Amino acid sequence: MTKEFWNERYADSAYIYGTEPNTYFRLKLDSISKGKLLLPAEGEGRNALYAASLGWQVDAFDYSELAKRKAEILAANAGLTLNYRIMAAEDMNLEPDSYDVIGLFYFHLPAELRLMVHKACIKALKPGGTILMEAFTPEQLQYNSGGPKNETWLYTPEMIQSDFAELNIAELTKITIQLEEGEGHKGEASVLRLMAVKP
């Protein structure tokens, strides 16, 4: 999807995915000792702001300048600062062994780019570091609660298990949930959730 698509999506002053953190992200992050966190495709900043409020050192990026601007407004209102960059997924150049947690939340990509990004994330994790993910499955096509309409951009547990095979997978589940994340993610949804740790 183009930069223009995302800038148009984020142009409204309302926060399309809300301002509260993702439920799974909050649940898992609260059980991990604070450190350095990366949030690719962070959008309007809801997850980054939550982590920063807990004392995490947060790096975030997105393709959209308007998303970054809205994230910075949220942060300023909360008296927090974020290290938020404008970057495309294909330009990810991450330092090896540099993050304690990487959160991949609704970061949907075509197959070749997905593999490249997931490999880069594994490399960027510190030993003992954790990948957290929530993403739509192909079954999401039957719902109107958000997500890509192209099945090749949706993720199966088998696909994600293969992508992160070199990690220790602590949790990989496919479930139907009720999304309440602004107007952009609202209603019944089919998602997978991953928690995986680098040996």
- Chain centroid, CA 142 distance in Å: 22
* Residue 7, pLDDT above cutoff 70: no
Q: Which residues contact 149 (CB under 8 A, 6 or more apart)?
A: 141
Nearest to 154 by CA among 189, 196, 111, 188: 111
Angstrom distance (rounded) from CA 166 to CA 67: 33
Which pLDDT band holds residue 13 (cuts at 50, 70, 90)?
confident
Name the CA radius of gyration of the chain, rounded: 16
pTM of structure: 0.95
Q: Assess whether pLDDT exceeds 70 at residue 96.
A: yes
The domains found in the chain, sorted by start residue, are 3-197 (3.40.50.150)
Mean pLDDT of 129-153: 97
Q: Residue 55 belongs to what H/E stretch?
A: none
Q: How far apart are CA 108 and CA 128, in angstroms?
A: 25
pLDDT band, very low/low/confident/very high, at 8 (cuts 50, 70, 90): confident
